[in-house]
Each structure stands twice: as structure tokens, then as C-alpha cells.
Chains A and B, each alone.
Chain A
Amino acid sequence: MTPDKIEKLPFEERLEKEFSKLPEGWIVLLETDTESALKVSLAAIKVLTNNGHTGIILSASRPCSNLLNLYKKSNIDVKKVFLLDCVCKSQATEAQDSENVLHLENVSALTNIAISINKTTEKLKGNRFIFIDSITTMLIHNKPDVFARFTHSILTKMRIDGLNGLLISLENETNKEVRAEIAQLCDKVIKL
């Protein structure tokens, strides 16, 4: 009797194919609709962690407890992810840092976010990725030009340090000009 296959997440197969075609040190913009955004995020993280990557997830949308729960349910190895949570503290929720969670003040604290990303990156070994979830949410809380500059700086640092990058954006919900400023910095735009 053959063992049960672990069911793949929606979008997982498509993302496996897309990521396999990319050169090392890639940065990708994932573009999707509101309904699919969570599924796309989970699938992307699963594909990467299954392929030996360790990742920093910058979460502007969901608190860490919710994310860790979702990751476990999706068979994502949570030991391979480090969460930068921009949600809990800003909601005055009790925010306890742990081995793989760091709470940041809020989504607008871009300098602090950049510093935290750098510090966390140094702790991780091997193939690493940074996942910004999501640029649409971050733009609600930041001026477009300031956010574009932040993104450019982060992506430059990723490239210098040889990290892979994922940014997720909601189609038709993101400021068109900022979307173009960010898309042109990426190696590929994947629409799902």
C-alpha cells in the first residue's frame, strides 16, 4: 500500500515551475487578487522552505500567531521561517518575541524594519529569502515615494548579500506608479 501523498497547496505546482527557471539571487513580484493572496503566500513559502531555503517573512497583514498556525496547517516547516511581525504591537496586542518571531512597532517604522531585516539576515544560513507581505498593505501606511525608496534600498541590499526576494502585491489595489517603480526592480513578475 503506497503512503498517502501530502496534498499540494493551490499554486504550489505553478510556483515550483516558475522558481526553478530563475537564476540565483532572484527577486520576484507576485501579483494576485485579494481572494487568492493568502493561498499564494502559503504556496510560495512552502515551495521555498521545501527546497531548503530559510526565510524572513515581513508581515504587514497578519499577526504572527495566525501565520504560524496557517504554516503548520499547510505543512510548512516553521523552523525555516523567521517572522517580522508589524501587526501585533500596532494593535496593542501582547507581543512576545521568540526564537523565530520579532515584533516591530508598526508598518510605518521603515528604518527599524530595514535594520531588523539586516540583523535577522545575518543569523540565517544557507539559501535565504525575504518575503514582503504585502506591498499593498504597506502602502496604506506609508507615503508612496518613501515606500518605493525603502523597497529599492532593501532590494539592493538583498542583491549585495545574495538573498532571494519575494514581494506580493494585490492586482488593481496597488498604486500604479509605485507598482511600476517596484516591478522594474524585480527579475520577474508572476501573475497568479
Chain B
Amino acid sequence: MANETQKKSLENAIKKHERGAVIMMELPADAYFDKNITSIKILTELDFDGIYISFQRPFKNLFSLFEKQGIDINKLLFIDIATALGEHEQEKHTRCVHISPNIDIDELVRAIYTSLPKLKGKKKFIFIDSLTTITLYKPLSETMRFSEFLVRSVKKHEVENVILVFNVAKDLAQKKFIKDIALRVDEVITVVQ
């Protein structure tokens, strides 16, 4: 039932903004990754190809769980920031974009921009798994710069027909910087457990 509501909300948001949309999803912390998976399932079933930017989990874990959930991995490219931030060894895989351990926001944005044309589908999404996890490692100003840059690119149609999805845990949605970002998005979708 909850997944049906999530599906309807996401579909409606995409329909309303056909040329591209910026969506913030507020998710229950206790079922966070489950809800992320649901969003990816919905988007890929709607024929979107996408870039999954993972601050939370390493590529190896995502790949395994997505496959088990029947998600078509060939529709996705992964940017594994989690492994880079922890300075662990990154997995070499055709679906995983390499990012340097001394990651800076400019490099991340470049990686997103150069990955978008590699997606085969006409409809594309950029999925940021967590807006708050990045702030554990980078200054708040960098997180804001990152989000503002992406929002501007999507809204000015510098990248055509792209859905940008920011995810945040509901309990963290009252943080000032999250509220600032929320002011700039097209839709905020609150997902229940």
C-alpha cells in the first residue's frame, strides 16, 4: 500500500514536469534503503535510465541488492562515493564510475555530466541517495554548491528531460540546509513506512 502511494506520488510529479523535474523525497529512516529501492524500481519501470550517486553504500552492496530485487542494472550507472570517501578500494565494474578518493564536488559534477550521455534511454534521472551523508565528510557549503549546481542545470534545461531526485531522512528534513534546498525543488514527496 505504502509502495503504491510512493509510486503514484512519483509518477504524478514526473507527469507535472515533463521537461525535467527536481524532486525531494523524505523517507522514513527505519526503511530508508527499501524506499530508495522502490523509487529506482518505479523509475526504471517507467523507462528511465539513471545515475545512482551513492554516498551511503558501496557499489558491491548496491549491485547485489538491486539484482536480487529484479532491477535492470543495465539501465543504471553508479557513482560510488561511499567507497571513495572511506578511502577503500573501489570495485572495477562497467556500471561503476570511478571517482578519486580525494573527491571534490567539481569532480563529482563532472562525473555526472560525463555519465549522462552514456545512458541509452531518452528519459534520464540523477538519484542522490542521501543529502545528509555527504555532510559527514564535506563542508556544508560544498553540499549546498553541489545541490544548487544540479538544480540549476535541470531547471535551465542544460540537461534535457532529466529528473533529479534528492533523498533525505524525515528526521533530518528539518535541518536548515535541507529546508533551503527544499525551497528550490519542484516537488517534495513524503514517503511513509
Contact = CB atoms under 8 A, between A and B. Distances in A.
**Quick one: which of A160, A183, A187 has the most chain B CB within 10 A?**
A160
Contacts, number: 71
A145 interface: yes
Contacts of A23: 65, 68
B30 interface: yes
Contacts of B30: 183, 189
Interface in A20-36: 23, 25
A177 B68 CA distance: 31
Interface string A154-190: 0011011000000000000000110111011101010
Contact of A184 (B61, B64, B86, B130): B130
Interface string B49-78: 000000011101100110010000000000
A179 B136 contact: no
A180 B32 CA distance: 10
Given A156-B83, A160-B58, 12 more contacts: A25-B64, A148-B136, A152-B82, A153-B85, A156-B85, A160-B60, A177-B171, A179-B29, A183-B169, A184-B27, A184-B56, A185-B57
12 contacts: A23-B65, A149-B137, A152-B82, A157-B86, A177-B171, A177-B175, A180-B169, A180-B170, A181-B172, A184-B29, A185-B57, A189-B29
Interface of B: 27, 29-30, 32-33, 56-58, 60-61, 64-65, 68, 82-83, 85-86, 88-89, 130, 132-133, 135-137, 169-172, 175
Interface of A: 23, 25, 145, 148-149, 152-153, 156-157, 159-160, 176-177, 179-181, 183-185, 187, 189
